[in-house]
Amino acid sequence: MASATKTKRKPAAAAAPATEKKTAAPAKPMPPKPAREASPKTSVQAKAEPHQPKPAAPTFKARPKAPKGTAKAKAKPPAIPPYRSDGLIRGPLISDTLQALQGWELEASKRANLDRLRQSNSIGAPTQAWLKKVCGAISSRFDPAGRDLPLVLATRTTTGQRHWKPLLLWHLANSDRLLGAGLSWSAQIFSAGGDLLQTDQALAWLEGSGSQDHPEVAAWSEATRKRVAGGLLKAGVDFALLQGKVKRRFTAYYLADEPLLYVLLQALASNRTTAAALADPRWLWFRLPEAELEHRLLLLHQAKVISYYRAGSVVDLKLPASSSEALVQEVWS
């Protein structure tokens, strides 16, 4: 048998590049694809909602300055507290207030103390009407847990009890503006050389104050105004500033050293500077003008009770206590 001859398959030649075979024809430009048509739903939304720019970051604008030449709005002055007629008609109630505050419990509230006072009648009021009058006066006049705490503490000391009248006068005249104004008016009469006061004078002053800063006085009846004028003079007698029943004559009033230091510490607490405290017009309630007050402080300085130096408006003052409360608790017995 003839043997079949196998022919070896030659490897295929590598494909020649296209440039060798034939020159490639330039590519035809593709026509641009037509834009995709928006659906009717999308186009309706686009028409209904116009394009909105992104919200810009919040900017803080400076407050516009007022143009030059325009006056700034002036702050309203504080309202003047109205006068009340019941304070002077009731009277200062000096001994009743002392007894009531002596039994005051500092840990209890004002209401609890007044309720206990009504039940126990520790002041020995002769009638329930009088007891109610005292409780009402204490409730409206004093803040035993706040500004009047030194007064309550003073009732626990022998010194405070001995000088109770000037201490009560200071706190009561600060609480009852009508009493304070009346004491200042009577001090002016005394400084001008006056010797006595009568109800007609007090009534004229009261009606004059009604035409100035206190129109509520004009709304009182004539009988009420007469009772208030008489109550003012009666309070002067109770505090030993006046004497007499019909014609009230001025007394030779003297404020002792102990209540003077107490009032001085109170005045320092309510004034910005020492010089302002010494010039406080409330010293006239005790008939102590600034010059006489400075003389009294010099005497206390010589007695080494205080340290007092003054050069013009510069005042160097050192007292035996830092506050009226500390004076009562640490110095008085």
Q: How many residues does the chain have?
A: 333
Note whether 234 and 131 are same-domain residues.
Answer: yes
Asked, for residue 4, whether it belongs to a domain, the answer is no
Interval 222-243: pLDDT, tens? 999 999 999 999 999 999 999 9
Asked, for residue 140, whether it belongs to a domain, the answer is yes
Asked, for residue 280, whether it belongs to a domain, the answer is yes
Asked whether the beta carbons of 252 and 113 are under 8 A apart, the reply is no
**Better pLDDT: 55 or 311:** 311
Asked, for residue 234, whether it belongs to a domain, the answer is yes
- What distance in Å separates the CA atoms of residue 192 and residue 284, rounded to the nearest whole number? 13
- Determine phi and psi for 318, rounding to 5 degrees: -125, 125
Residue 282 predicted with pLDDT over 80: yes
What are the angstrom distances between the C-alpha of 209 and each of 29, 115, 131? 106, 37, 32
Supply the DSSP string of 109-135, one letter for each residue: -HHHHHHHHHHH-TT--SSHHHHHHHH
**Better pLDDT: 264 or 49:** 264
- What distance in Å separates the CA atoms of residue 261 and residue 323, rounded to the nearest whole number? 10
Note whether 182 and 208 are same-domain residues.
Answer: yes
Indicate the residue among 220, 250, 280 that finishes a domain. Answer: 250
| 3-class SS of residue 307 | strand
pLDDT confidence band for 24 (50 / 70 / 90): very low
Note whether 246 and 137 are same-domain residues.
Answer: yes
Beta-ladder partners of 249: 196, 243
The range of the structural domain enclosing residue 191 comes to 86-250
Interval 74-105: pLDDT, tens? 555 556 677 788 889 999 999 999 999 999 99
Pairing mode, if any, of strands 314-318 and 248-250?
unpaired
3-state secondary structure 168-237: HHHHHHHHCHHHHHHHHHHHHHHHCCCCEECHHHHHHHHHHHHCCCCCHHHHCCHHHHHHHHHHHHHHHH
Indicate the residue among 207, 232, 250 that finishes a domain. Answer: 250
Interval 239-258: pLDDT, tens? 999 999 888 999 999 999 99
- The confidence score (pLDDT) of residue 42 equals 44
Asked, for residue 292, whether it belongs to a domain, the answer is yes
Asked, for residue 34, whether it belongs to a domain, the answer is no
